[in-house]
A and B are shown apart, each in its own frame.
Chain A
Amino acid sequence: MNRIIKSDYLARVEGEGGIMIEIKDGTVAKVHVRIFEAPRFFEAFLRGRPYQDVIDFTSRICGICPVAYQMSSVHAIEKIFKVAVSPPVRALRRLLYCGEWIASHALHMYLLQGLDFYGFDSAWSGREYREIAKQGLRLKKIGNAILAVLGGRPVHPVSVRVGGFFSMPSRKTLASLLPELEKAFEESLKAIAWTAALDFKDYSPDAEFISLCSSEEYPMNEGRIMSTNGLDVTFEEFLAAVQEHQVDYATALHAAIMREGIAVTYLVGPLSRLNLNHERLPSGIRSAVTAAGVSLPIRNIRMAIIARAIEISYAFHEAIRIIQDYEQPEKACESFEPSAGAAAWATEAPRGTLIHRYELDEKGCVIAATIIPPTSQNLAQMEKDIAAFAGRHMAKPTDYIRREAEKIVRGYDPCISCSTHAMIVDSSRGSAI
């Protein structure tokens, strides 16, 4: 029997998208994750703008992960200008990211994906869910508080600049966050157990997981790009190997890496980070993971909620460590001279590896910009997962397949307003790694 299964407008994801599954002659003929978010042309209007605008503008691509955009862009620009930031600046940028990971992951776990396991349509619809949601909002609030202390506000913070920050908080101001953070860390360990006890359908697709990796620490702002299949490259090498192509049903481009002439889909995000970096988690968190009965690596995308819970715990732990070690430096910013050049940089957004590349002129104004958000990198893999699911459950009712397909998409935590800001494909791209 031929049929088309459609979800016109996905709920509880960031941005505007839908799903179309076509079943024809007993096989899954097509799966489209439709992206109809209106394009906003960031890479185009960045041209000619001075370097500080790059930080403030790219932040506006996503209200949920503005710090990620600020971090990828500021590091790329600093690489062009050859600016080395001081250790306290490096630490506070990591702290800023902790705030964003906590706020974004808590939003997704408790207000978006978590409901799929309970069958409510929103966090405030079911009385039984209210206490769980409130706990999530408490965690999220502390993430927001970190963002506000360092950047003035949780959405589009204002303090990041080339060379450091516009100003840095006193030790006392930061230390005032500690009691709440310590309480939240304890709560977050319990949250790992909560997510691990949810009811997951057994499903482990074959996927290549890609993330930043560094030998020192769990990755945020630095490292090399590695994969579970042995990939180990610099940002530039990775960018050269990523091929993006345009499809007629989405305003976002799809990405794949070229290997021996074949386009390989891959997956970025918390699951990838965890699978590649779990050995660098503090022992307290590792034992909570083991106690919750979680075995690593995790290959089931629906279980990404566990990875988010683990990362929230890590972010609290790391925030406490950074604040305890912090001494306010004399200057918040290194001095530098703008210079012409080009550079790529990637950092770990809550949803995965976010790559920026800029070419600047001698005044530091943009000649060309390339942005590859995590969600465009995951789109092809997302479609593959849905196709595999629909293939196994073809005999089930349409409603069931639609609902489960929506859950798969939600598991990826897609950020659709990010994903519509993709890059130009030029002839030099597509070299094999």
Chain B
Amino acid sequence: MKRQRIGIFKLASCDGCQLAVLNLNEELFDLAELYDIAYFREALNRSPLKQYDIALVEGSVTTERQKKEIIEIRERARFLMTIGACATAGGIQALRNWANLAEFKRQVYPSPELISVLPTSTPVSEHVYIDYELWGCPVDAEALSETLVSLMVGRRPGIPIYSLCMDCKIKGIPCVLVSQGDPCLGPVTRAGCGALCPSFGRGCFGCFGPKEGANIDALMHRFEDLKMARKDAVLLMDKMNTYAYRRTRLEQDH
């Protein structure tokens, strides 16, 4: 059987989700046996192909060049999957969506006129059709390998869609919101990290993005009961998945 060809691509990102592929450790060689890793700039010196069976995309769309690039990747890929918060939700750099770009450029570069970028950072799904998405900042290496194996055998990947709270209950971690009175995004956030922050005694800060149908406003009210200003409560969601949380909240209002 001919091995399927995988291409791994990068837009605006920190490279941490591509690293999840390399963090498969010895399994990396199993992956390279199961699939033909045909394009992976970070770890492989090979030119792009015309066609891929699977494209994994890390990073968000933040420049004109990336806008063209993602369309080209889509045209070459039979199956396109986003990996991580940047590609799936615009990433932390989407915080500029709520700010003035000219001001941002001036704050970082002495000659802002040399910097040419879009005023927004957007998820891949706003530009092309995507077949599957993996959330997380970063994605979980095991979830990635589960997905790739599932694709190969043609089954649905076993990726949880419930909220992070479920993981706390399963693991018997005391609720940081109830027992410590610490703000925690767990109730509105997808499971996927194994409830890492609560296991360290801190509130979830939303690496895995909003769970579908999350009641964000109810949680915001709960935070206000903790004597948190509304402004600070909202700021909790304005992190690596800011664009997705804000959108989920808006959709709920309608």
Contact = CB atoms under 8 A, between A and B. Distances in A.
A156 B108 contact: no
A140 B28 CA distance: 13
A422 B108 contact: yes
A152 interface: yes
Given A41-B108, A251-B115, A14 B99 contact: no
Contacts of A44: 96, 99, 103-104, 107-108
Interface in A132-167: 133-134, 137-138, 140-141, 144, 152-156, 158-159, 161, 165-167
B193 A153 contact: yes
Contacts, number: 180
Contacts of A248: 114
A38 B12 contact: yes
A60 interface: yes
A233 interface: no
A130 B109 contact: no
A421 B62 CA distance: 15
B205 interface: yes
Given A39-B115, A152-B199, A166-B202, A63 B19 contact: yes
A64 B62 CA distance: 21
Given A63-B16, A246-B111, A121 B22 contact: no
Interface string B171-207: 0000000000000000000000100110111100101
12 contacts: A11-B44, A16-B41, A38-B12, A40-B121, A41-B107, A44-B103, A44-B104, A45-B92, A57-B239, A62-B15, A124-B29, A167-B201
Interface of A: 9-16, 36-45, 47, 49-50, 53, 56-57, 60-64, 66, 107, 111-112, 115, 121-125, 130, 133-134, 137-138, 140-141, 144, 152-156, 158-159, 161, 165-167, 244-246, 248, 251, 253, 417, 421-425
B10 interface: yes
A121 B46 contact: yes
Contacts of A12: 41-45
B62 A62 contact: no
B158 to A, nearest CB: 19
Contacts of B13: 63, 417
B93 A16 contact: no
Interface in B20-54: 20, 22-23, 25-26, 28-29, 32, 37, 40-46
B66 interface: yes
B110 interface: yes
Contacts of B240: 60
Contact of B110 (A9, A57, A154, A425): A425
B137 A60 contact: yes
Contacts of B93: 40-41, 45
Contacts of B117: 38-39
Given A11-B41, A12-B42, A424 B110 contact: yes
Contacts of B138: 63, 153, 155-156
B28 to A, nearest CB: 7
B107 A43 contact: yes
Given A44-B108, A156-B137, A166-B202, A64 B19 contact: yes
A194 B147 CA distance: 37
Interface string B95-127: 110010001110111110011010001000000
Given A38-B66, A122-B45, 13 more contacts: A50-B232, A57-B239, A60-B91, A60-B240, A62-B15, A64-B19, A111-B22, A112-B43, A123-B43, A130-B29, A138-B26, A144-B25, A154-B23
A56 B205 contact: yes
